[in-house]
Amino acid sequence: MSRTELFKILPDGEWEPEAVYGNSWGWSPYVWDKLVESHGLLERAIATNHKVIRWAGDTGEVPYGVMDCWSYLWDLVKDKKVVLEPFELLVLRTTYDAAALKQGQFPALIEALRQFQGKHGTMTTDLKGGMSKRVCHLSQMADDLQKLVDNDEALLGVCWYGTSTIENRWYPRNPDFDEEAYMQGTEYDGEEEIKYNFLKREDLHFWVSEEEASDE
C-alpha cells in the first residue's frame, strides 16, 4: 500500500521522519478531489469543452473523471478563476510537491486541516452513484502537528513526501555523482542521491506562507 510521510525539518536544515500515513489517497488526492467536487469542476470542464493535457505533445481530451481535473484545479486557482476559502488554499498549497511549512505556521495549518475536513467530510460519491467513505488523513495530520507544537521542539518546519509511489524528492540526485565511473564499475565512493538540506539548498522547495495563501 502507498503511504504519505510527514518530515520535521531540524534547525541545521536536515530532516527526519515524524509520521507515516497508510494509503496516500488520504492526503493530496483527498484534498484535490474535494475541491474539484465542491466547485463542480468536472461539470465545468465538460460544459466548456476544456481539454486536459496529460503529457508534452498531448492534444488533450475532455476529462471523464474527477482525477482528470486535478491540473485544471491547479491552473484555475493559480489564475484566480476559482475562489477558495483561505483555509482551503493553505491546505492546497501544502499538497504541492515542493511545499515546506515553517514552524511558526503550524497553528494556522492545524486549524486549516481541521476546517477542511470538517467542511468537506469523508463521504464521496462512488461509481454506482451511492455514497461511500473514503480515506482522509487531515485530522490525524493536525494531531501530529499539534504534538510538535506541544513538545516545543526547535524546528525550521515540516515537509511532506506525498506518496511512496514516486521517488522521494528530498533525496535528489547528487550533482557530483560520477555516472561514467559508476557504469564502468570502477571503484567509486560517491553517492548517486544525497539527502536534501533546507539551509544548504533552496532549489527544490518553497515555504508555504499563510499570508500568500490568503492573498492569492
Q: Whose CA is closest to 41, among 53, 32, 29, 30?
A: 32
Whole-number percent of the chain with pLDDT over 70: 79
Question: Could you tell me which residue, 138 or 184, shows the higher pLDDT?
Answer: 138
In terms of Cβ atoms closer than 10 Å to its own Cβ (0-12, 13-18, 19+), residue 128 is exposed
Query: Among 63-72, 104-113, 196-205, where is mean pLDDT lowest?
Result: 63-72
Highest mean pLDDT, choosing among 59-73, 88-102, 123-137, 172-186:
88-102
Whole-number percent of the chain with pLDDT over 90: 62
Report the alpha-carbon distance of residue 113 to residue 141 in Å, rounded: 8
Position 3 scores a pLDDT of: 97
Strands 3-9 and 157-161, by their bridges, are antiparallel
Position 27 scores a pLDDT of: 97
Rounded mean pLDDT of the chain? 86
Residue 58 scores a pLDDT above 80: no
pLDDT single digits (tens) 81-139: 999 999 999 999 999 999 999 999 999 999 999 999 999 999 876 555 677 788 999 99
Q: Whose CA is closest to 103, among 142, 31, 170, 152?
A: 152
Question: Could you tell me which residue, 40 or 125, shows the higher pLDDT?
Answer: 40
pLDDT single digits (tens) 148-168: 999 999 999 999 999 999 989
User: Model's pTM, two decimal places?
Assistant: 0.84
Report the alpha-carbon distance of residue 78 to residue 129 in Å, rounded: 31
Residues in the chain: 216
Q: b/e per residue, 44-75, with b = 16+ CB within 10 A?
A: bbeeeebebeeeeeeeeeebeebebbbebbbe
Predicted confidence band of residue 182 (pLDDT cuts 50, 70, 90):
very low
DSSP string, 22-58: ESGGGSHHHHHHHHHHHTTHHHHHHHTTPPBP-STT-
What's the whole-number mean pLDDT along residues 191-202?
Answer: 83
Position 125 scores a pLDDT of: 65
Position 34 scores a pLDDT of: 95
Residue 43 scores a pLDDT above 60: yes
